[in-house]
């Protein structure tokens, strides 16, 4: 069942239409501490991650999965920076994305890239289910390694807060509230897509 979200969307301003899941995906911090993530929803997110592409189908993405109140959740929360933990503690679930960098054959090429692909699948599935997924680089990877007894070939990449949106006023500082309510922005297409030579835009006009 899809979570119904009553809060305004911050859709991407694109030069041509893109899929609604991509246009609607962003990274809220204002999450509802009362929301409970159903087992089926959580499985859906992880199935989306499981079916992501990877180099040679090596499938390097692994996830530590915690639901609010359980031990894994508390361990992931403890790895977060103070700034991230201030809002992420209201998430319905906290995940830690880990790259397996070696398998029984050899080192896995592009393992971090594979985790990125899998986690974007997860984030888009969250949008499809009416949820939000906010990825965080602000966590202590060494603490995560110790807490979860990760093997040497398992590299923590990013923490992920999953939940349902709520009013921005729940955030602790005026700066965070303004960031939550501000329009989204990106570099113009002419700044990221080149043709012929570096810096020569592949598309002259953004719109």
**55-81 average pLDDT score:** 97
Question: Quick check: is 192 in a domain?
Answer: no
pLDDT higher at 206 or 24: 24
The pLDDT tens digits for 89-106 are: 999 999 999 999 998 889
Question: Quick check: is 187 in a domain?
Answer: no
Question: Quick check: is 10 in a domain?
Answer: no
Question: Quick check: is 159 in a domain?
Answer: yes
- As a whole number, the mean pLDDT across the chain is 94
Question: Quick check: is 47 in a domain?
Answer: yes
Question: Quick check: is 14 in a domain?
Answer: no
- Any idea what the CATH number is for the domain that residue 122 is in? 3.40.109.10
Q: Give this prediction's pTM.
A: 0.93
Domain of residue 121 covers: 20-173
Query: Are 96 and 180 spatial neighbours (Cβ–Cβ below 8 Å)?
Result: no
- CA-derived radius of gyration, the chain: 18
* The pLDDT value given to residue 173: 87
Q: How confident is the model at residue 207 (pLDDT cuts 50, 70, 90)?
A: low
State the total domains in the chain: 1
DSSP string, 6-48: -SPP-----SS---HHHHH------B-TT----HHHHHHHHHH
**151-172 average pLDDT score:** 96
The pLDDT tens digits for 102-157 are: 988 899 999 999 999 999 999 999 999 999 999 999 999 999 999 999 999 999 99
**166-174 average pLDDT score:** 92
Question: Quick check: is 27 in a domain?
Answer: yes
**Orientation angle between helical segments 141-148 and 71-79, nearest 10 degrees:** 160
Q: Is 2 exposed, middle or buried (0-12, 13-18, 19+ CB in 10 A)?
A: exposed
* The pLDDT value given to residue 205: 67
* The pLDDT value given to residue 4: 58
Question: Quick check: is 190 in a domain?
Answer: no
């Amino acid at each position: 069942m899809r979570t119904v979200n009553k809060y305004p969307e911050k859709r991407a301003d694109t030069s041509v239409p893109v899929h609604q899941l991509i246009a609607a995906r962003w990274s809220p911090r204002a999450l509802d501490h009362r929301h409970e993530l159903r087992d089926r929803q959580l499985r859906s997110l992880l199935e989306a991650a499981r079916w992501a592409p990877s180099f040679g189908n090596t499938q390097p993405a692994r996830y530590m999965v915690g639901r609010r109140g359980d031990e894994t959740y508390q361990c992931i929360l403890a790895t977060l920076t103070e700034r991230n933990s201030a809002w992420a503690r209201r998430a319905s679930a906290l995940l830690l994305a880990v790259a397996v960098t070696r398998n029984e054959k050899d080192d896995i090429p592009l393992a971090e890239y594979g985790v990125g692909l899998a986690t974007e699948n997860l984030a888009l599935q969250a949008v499809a289910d009416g949820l939000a997924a906010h990825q965080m680089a602000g966590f202590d990877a060494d603490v995560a390694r110790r807490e979860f007894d990760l093997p040497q070939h398992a590299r923590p990449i990013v923490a992920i807060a999953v939940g349902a949106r709520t009013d921005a006023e729940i955030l602790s500082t005026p700066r965070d509230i303004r960031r939550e309510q501000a329009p989204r922005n990106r570099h113009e297409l002419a700044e990221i897509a080149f043709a012929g030579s570096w810096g020569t835009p592949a598309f002259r006009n953004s719109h």
